[in-house]
């Protein structure tokens, strides 16, 4: 009896020692509490596992992009509440513009409704600290949804979000990348919806910086009711800096705007989902990217 119980005890002891050694080996091999693989290229891990034809936008050909401007902060989704400006987190100078933002959504939805091969993207990140970690893109999608897609419910299944843009260059370039993630290809036709007074900036600076063929880019502009405040900074704080810095990555005015508009420290996932755009997306210089683009 005494012999066999001490034998059992020592067997249990051996098993415990064995597990302990195996545990140490596993921890040493795989790392523990540290980013052991941080130096390895992890780009592939962020790529969606979807492949055509399972991609959510597979088969769609043209892009309609609505640039976001503000965030809705109420939990009530009635029409009355949505049109009430005190339920929006607005920046200085945006007072009186909510109906124009909604007009942008409507214009985008209508453009998407007339082209059944189009994919609609609402673009804009979590840009306002005081609004909490909600993105402009989510606001736009939810408002359009709450308002019944302005009478075009068939657009809902073709409507998506781009949730990282911090300025107009990123509204366009990130949406191109997002289109690739959703469809597996790049748009053959792009329609941009924003303020009319930003048309030149989008077409002659951003589309140009991306080398998009002019004939494939269209613009639908709706201006706010009061123009003075809205347009005051257009030249000095956007158009001129973008002329000197097409990708918006080195001019202090543009880089500080990007920093300020990322209060929740989101990491930009692009160009992980659009490897063919890496060159143009990561370019940084005084003149536009001159290498290969996928269109």
What string marks each residue from 199 to 228 as x (binds ligand NAG by CB under 6 A) or -? -------------------x----------
Distance CA 98, CA 88 (A): 8
Distance CA 123, CA 270 (A): 14
CB 279, min distance to ligand NAG, A: 23
Residues 6+ apart with CB under 8 A from 23: none
By CB under 6 A, the count of residues binding ligand NAG is 24
281 touches ligand NAG (CB under 6 A): no
Give the nearer residue to ligand NAG in terms of CB position, either 53 or 75.
Answer: 75
Using CA atoms of 252, 89, 173, 182 in order, give the dihedral in degrees to the nearest 10.
Answer: 150
Rounded to a whole number, what is the distance in angstroms from the first to the last CA of the chain?
Answer: 82
- Of 100-119, binders to ligand NAG (CB under 6 A) are 111, 115
What string marks each residue from 23 to 62 as x (binds ligand NAG by CB under 6 A) or -? ---------------------------------------x
Give the nearer residue to ligand NAG in terms of CB position, either 146 or 291.
Answer: 146
166 touches ligand NAG (CB under 6 A): yes
**Contact in structure between 122 and 66 (CB atoms under 8 Å):** yes
Query: What does DSSP say about strands 71-72 and 88-89: parallel, antiparallel, or unpaired?
Result: antiparallel
67 touches ligand NAG (CB under 6 A): yes
CB 67, min distance to ligand NAG, A: 3
Give the nearer residue to ligand NAG in terms of CB position, either 125 or 271.
Answer: 125
CB 51, min distance to ligand NAG, A: 25
DSSP 193-241: EE-GGGHHIIIIIIHHHTT--GGGEEEEE---S-HHHHHTTHIIIIIHH
Query: What does DSSP say about strands 62-67 and 118-123: parallel, antiparallel, or unpaired?
Result: parallel
Distance CA 78, CA 61 (A): 33
- Of 255-274, binders to ligand NAG (CB under 6 A) are 261
126 touches ligand NAG (CB under 6 A): no
| Interface residue list for ligand NAG (CB under 6 A) | 62, 67-69, 84, 86-87, 111, 115, 124-125, 127, 136, 165-168, 171, 189, 191, 194, 198, 218, 261
């Amino acid at each position: 009896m005494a012999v066999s119980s001490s034998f059992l005890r020592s067997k249990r002891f051996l098993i415990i020692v064995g597990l302990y050694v195996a545990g140490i080996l596993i921890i040493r091999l795989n790392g523990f509490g540290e980013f052991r693989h941080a130096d390895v290229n992890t780009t592939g891990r962020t790529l969606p596992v979807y492949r055509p034809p399972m991609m959510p936008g597979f088969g769609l050909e043209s892009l309609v992009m609505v640039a976001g401007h503000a965030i809705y902060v109420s939990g009530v989704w009635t029409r009355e509440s949505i049109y009430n400006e005190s339920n929006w987190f607005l920046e200085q100078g945006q007072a009186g513009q909510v109906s124009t933002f909604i007009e942008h959504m409507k214009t985008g939805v209508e453009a998407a409704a007339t082209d059944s091969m189009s994919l609609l993207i609402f673009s804009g990140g979590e840009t306002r600290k005081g609004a909490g970690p909600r993105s402009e893109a989510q606001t736009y999608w939810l408002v359009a949804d709450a308002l019944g897609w302005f009478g075009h419910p068939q657009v809902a299944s073709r409507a998506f979000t781009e949730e990282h843009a911090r300025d107009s260059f990123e509204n366009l370039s990130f949406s191109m990348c997002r289109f690739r993630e959703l469809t597996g290809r790049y748009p053959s036709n792009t329609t941009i919806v924003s303020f009319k007074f930003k048309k030149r900036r989008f077409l002659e600076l951003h589309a140009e910086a991306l080398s998009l063929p002019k004939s494939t880019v269209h613009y639908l502009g709706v201006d706010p009711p009061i123009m003075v405040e809205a347009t005051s900074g257009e030249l000095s704080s956007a158009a001129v800096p973008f002329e000197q810095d097409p990708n918006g990555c080195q001019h202090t005015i543009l880089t500080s705007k990007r920093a300020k508009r990322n209060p929740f420290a989101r990491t930009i996932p692009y160009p992980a989902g659009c490897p063919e755009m890496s060159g143009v997306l990561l370019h940084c210089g005084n003149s536009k990217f001159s290498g290969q683009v996928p269109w």
